[in-house]
Amino acid sequence: MESGTAALVPVLSEIARVASESLDLDVVFQRIAAAAARVLAFDAMTVTYNHESSGISLYTIAGPTLNDEERRSYARHVPRHEYSPGLWALLTRPGPTADLFLVLDTSFPRDRSLKEAKIRSMLRVPLAGSSRGGYLSLLSLEPGAYTAEHEKLFRPIADVVAMAFEHERLAADERERRRKYEGLQALAPALARALDVRDVFDRISEIARPVIPHDRMALGLLTEDRTAVRVYAVSGGGFPEIPEPIRLTPGELARHDWSTEIVRDVLIEVDPASDKCRHLSSEGIRSLLRVPIFFDGTWQFAGGLLFLSRTANTYSEDDVPFAQHVADQVALALSHQRLAEEARRAAEARAETERLEKRVAALSEELASRGGFGRIVGTSKMWRDALVHAAKVAPTETTVLLTGESGTGKEVVARAIHRSSARSAGPFVALNVAALPDQLLESELFGYERGAFTGATSAKPGRLEQAAGGTLFLDEAGEMSPAVQAKLLRVLEEREYQRLGGTKVLRTEARIVAATNRNLARAIEKGEFREDLFYRLSVFGIHLPPLRERPEDILPLTEMFLAELGPAVGRPVPGISREAKDLLLSYPWPGNVRELRNALERAAILSEGGLITAAHLPISVTRQDSPAGRAGVPAPAGGGAVLPPEGVDLESLERDYVREALKKARFNKSRAAKLLGLTRAQLYSRIEKYGLEGDRGEIRDLPPAAEPL
């Protein structure tokens, strides 16, 4: 045996190395004892842990005089009542004991075993940092073997041993944590197979019980007003029904931290007058652990998972991570359950919506067949006034003139007038006057005889004849040439006409409904339209307001168009976002209802069956809010326009701009629309309005543009 403090340094170095090489404490301790024997004489070295209430546990023992059988024979735990008071006092304080025989009382079992083992002296040093009352002890068969000087040499060894034991304890704790988490791995498959958490709640309790001991497990969810908890599920049979929510106490309502709750003794810590205590006491519950349930990733407390025990002081902070792991799995299953329920309800709602839409469509068709106004959507006063006038004139034979901007629904109203008239069984024949050149318009309207012009190999009835017994709708009637105006005036006055190239006088049995987006009063002043024809056409005039003057009709029209567009685009359109609705309401709609429908059709295609958003709409409020954007022509540079005293014809100006843009773009509509600051839909409406589609051939023959577009 080496002596002195100098010899302690290599011993400590060896002990530290040994402690770091292995986590098998029994092996480590034997080697530590062998190293310590070089500086301290002893017959046995032990590690013990004192338990104030229960006794002393021997963790390990080593020594040069002990064989394996002797080491195994030492008791691993000795209850306190087996120690005499004198021996117990010595074993609960550090330092040397010169002669144990002076205090041993052989009437106590442990005292007797020490005397039989001839243990005379002892040196005890506490293990640094031990929270469990740990001691490293040296035992000797010789009395007075240890002094204060030996204690100084022994303390550094005890510190290294404490470090080794702490490493082992941490590793053991980690192994235990891992074992517990592995035991909870069965939670996910059990919950994944369940459509309702309550169906597998007993299984969840069974999986969690080895990790978190409990007699009952319960799931409580807060009510909507957050003043009570409703018991959603309880494990085990025989639990009484709790139909009413358990009211929270004022103290619980005032709590801001609902993270966890540990009740070590219900009889002491829970208000005996509360619903909570009444329900727990009825089941004999003495302690509980509650961890929170969070929904939807909001980290807002929505309820709790409770582990309930009929034994007091069952739970500690060490149980919280494992309980929270179980709660998180349950919360995830509940979230999936809620999503599935919401999806089921949404599917039922969609099915109900589809059923109602079909019913509405059937009723609308029925109304249309009866009165003709079933599919005309709009609640604004201006629109309803126009419909009231249309409904009043429909049953008569009176000629009707519909006025209003392009796309306001003039043909829709004309068809409704026809369906609501006595002529509803007859044909409805529509003719766009602006889409045809003068000679072709005359032959289309009145018909022609064989040989009337080159290529007329056989006679052909005109639209007036085709509309016999029904209604002839003349769209854009303000664009007729003077010659056609004169012939149409005779039809309206005498109900007579002749085919082109013919001599036979024919009578028409058609009712005339005309429409125009032109200001006919100004056209009359300029000599472009016959005043007498105007009065014949406008026997009963109905003005259709532009969409921007009836914004309350935009969303109902949108809903109707989306319902109609579903079959057209090959998929149902689920709806439109709030942002898109706001954009629809903010936009001035220069193309009116036609532009709205075109915009929605394009958006329905782009959305690919999803919700229509503002990004899908081909409109821009910022650009269209400018005067130039609304007029369809560039705003003049310099901030203001100089108007001649006689005024300007905006329609002619707009038509010239559109024609010029088409020429520059060689009829590439996307490029022409960009030049004009319009959308493609707006450009199409103007091409149709001014009959510029026929300019395509003329533009194709032009030389290449002199400047890039």
Reported as a single tens digit per residue, the pLDDT across 37-66 is: 888 889 989 888 887 777 888 877 887 766
> Does 278 reside within a domain?
yes
47 & 158 share domain: yes
70 & 98 share domain: yes
- What is the CATH classification number for the domain harbouring 328? 3.30.450.40
Among candidate residues 120, 82, 87, 83, the one with its CA nearest the CA of residue 101: 120
Stretch 544-558: mean pLDDT: 92
Q: Per-residue pLDDT for 591 more than 80? A: yes
Two structure tokens written together for 365: 């068709």
80 by Cβ neighbours in 10 Å (0-12 / 13-18 / 19+) ranks as: middle
Q: What is the DSSP string of 106-117?
A: TTSHHHHHHHHT
**Domain endpoint, select from 492, 523, 545:** 545
Most confident region among 22-31, 574-583, 618-627 by mean pLDDT: 574-583
Q: What are phi and psi of 455, to 5 degrees?
A: 95, -10
> Does 662 reside within a domain?
no
Q: Per-residue pLDDT for 356 more than 60? A: no
Instruction: Give 263's DSSP letter.
Output: E
Count of structural domains within the chain: 3
> Does 337 reside within a domain?
yes
68 & 168 share domain: yes
168 & 298 share domain: no
527 & 388 share domain: yes
CB 281, CB 273: distance < 8 Å: no
Stretch 162-173: mean pLDDT: 73
The residue that leads in pLDDT, 431 or 452, is: 431
Strands 428-432 and 400-403: unpaired
The residues, any chain, with a CB within 8 Å of residue 1's CB and separated by 6 or more, are: 37, 38, 39, 40, 41
State how far the Cα of 565 lies from the Cα of 560, in Å rounded to an integer: 9
Q: What mean pLDDT, rounded, does the chain reach?
A: 80
CB contact burial 491-519 (16+ within 10 A = b; e otherwise): bbeeeebebbbbeeebebebbbbbbbbbe
Whole-angstrom Cα Rg for the chain: 49
132 & 202 share domain: no
How many residues are there in the chain?
A: 709
- What is the CATH classification number for the domain harbouring 536? 3.40.50.300
Which neighbouring-strand residues pair with 309?
287
Stretch 340-359: mean pLDDT: 72
> Does 527 reside within a domain?
yes
**Domain endpoint, select from 178, 213, 236:** 178
pLDDT of residue 549: 92
C-alpha 525: how far from chain center: 61
Q: What are phi and psi of 213, to 5 degrees?
A: -60, 135
Tell me the HSE value of 389 on the side-chain side, using a 13 A CA sphere.
17
Two structure tokens written together for 95: 């330092």
Stretch 86-112: mean pLDDT: 93
Q: Per-residue pLDDT for 702 more than 50? A: no
Q: What is the DSSP string of 470-520?
A: SEEEEETGGG--HHHHHHHHHHHHHSEEE-BT---EEE--PEEEEEESS-H
Taking phi first (over 0 means left), then psi (-120 to 50 degrees means alpha), and beta for anything else, what does residue 202 get?
A: alpha
> Does 443 reside within a domain?
yes
Instruction: Give 612's DSSP letter.
Output: B
222 & 275 share domain: yes
pLDDT of residue 255: 66
**Domain endpoint, select from 530, 545, 560:** 545
State how far the Cα of 580 lies from the Cα of 584, in Å rounded to an integer: 6
Render pLDDT for 200-228 as a digit per residue (tens, 0 to 9).
Answer: 888 888 888 888 889 989 888 888 777 88
Render pLDDT for 498-538 as a digit per residue (tens, 0 to 9).
Answer: 888 888 888 888 999 999 998 898 889 989 899 999 999 98
Question: Where is average pLDDT lowest: 4-18, 33-47, 128-142?
Answer: 4-18
How would residue 575 be classed by pLDDT, with cut points 50, 70 and 90?
A: confident
155 & 201 share domain: no
Tell me the HSE value of 400 on the side-chain side, using a 13 A CA sphere.
31
Among candidate residues 201, 207, 289, the one with its CA nearest the CA of residue 239: 201
572 by Cβ neighbours in 10 Å (0-12 / 13-18 / 19+) ranks as: middle
Helix H or strand E encompassing 219: strand 216-222
How would residue 629 be classed by pLDDT, with cut points 50, 70 and 90?
A: very low
> Does 661 reside within a domain?
no
Beginning with the edge strand found earlier in the chain, give each strand of the sheet holding 228-234 in spatial order.
Answer: 246-247, 228-234, 216-222, 301-309, 287-294, 261-263
E strands, 54-151, where? 55-62, 77-79, 95-97, 121-126, 134-140
CB 534, CB 518: distance < 8 Å: no
CB 515, CB 403: distance < 8 Å: yes
The residue that leads in pLDDT, 654 or 596, is: 596
End-to-end CA distance of the chain: 104
417 & 390 share domain: yes
> Does 37 reside within a domain?
yes
pLDDT of residue 524: 92
Stretch 114-122: mean pLDDT: 92
248 & 204 share domain: yes
Helical axes 592-607 vs 680-690, angle rounded to 10°: 140
> Does 620 reside within a domain?
no
Q: Per-residue pLDDT for 597 more than 80? A: yes
Render pLDDT for 387-424 as a digit per residue (tens, 0 to 9).
Answer: 888 888 888 999 999 999 988 889 988 988 898 888 98
490 & 401 share domain: yes
Long-range contacts of 697-704 (CB under 8 A, 24+ apart): 699/662, 699/663, 699/666, 699/667, 700/666, 700/667, 702/663, 702/666, 704/666
State how far the Cα of 344 lies from the Cα of 355, in Å rounded to an integer: 16
Say what the pTM is.
0.41
CB 45, CB 63: distance < 8 Å: yes
State how far the Cα of 215 lies from the Cα of 442, in Å rounded to an integer: 96
Stretch 272-290: mean pLDDT: 86
Among candidate residues 141, 37, 124, the one with its CA nearest the CA of residue 89: 124
Q: What distances in angstroms separate CA 480 from CA 442, 495, 517, 539, one per listed residue?
A: 9, 19, 13, 19
State how far the Cα of 594 lies from the Cα of 590, in Å rounded to an integer: 10
The residue that leads in pLDDT, 241 or 76, is: 76
Q: What are phi and psi of 583, to 5 degrees?
A: -65, -40
Judged by DSSP in three states, 709 sits in: coil
122 & 152 share domain: yes
Domain that holds residue 128: 8-178
Two structure tokens written together for 499: 């085919």
Instruction: Give 4's DSSP letter.
Output: S
Instruction: Give 249's DSSP letter.
Output: P
C-alpha 73: how far from chain center: 67
pLDDT of residue 704: 41
The residues, any chain, with a CB within 8 Å of residue 256's CB and separated by 6 or more, are: none
- Percentage of residues in the chain with pLDDT exceeding 70? 82
654 by Cβ neighbours in 10 Å (0-12 / 13-18 / 19+) ranks as: middle
The residues, any chain, with a CB within 8 Å of residue 298's CB and separated by 6 or more, are: none
How would residue 241 be classed by pLDDT, with cut points 50, 70 and 90?
A: low
Two structure tokens written together for 331: 């919360």
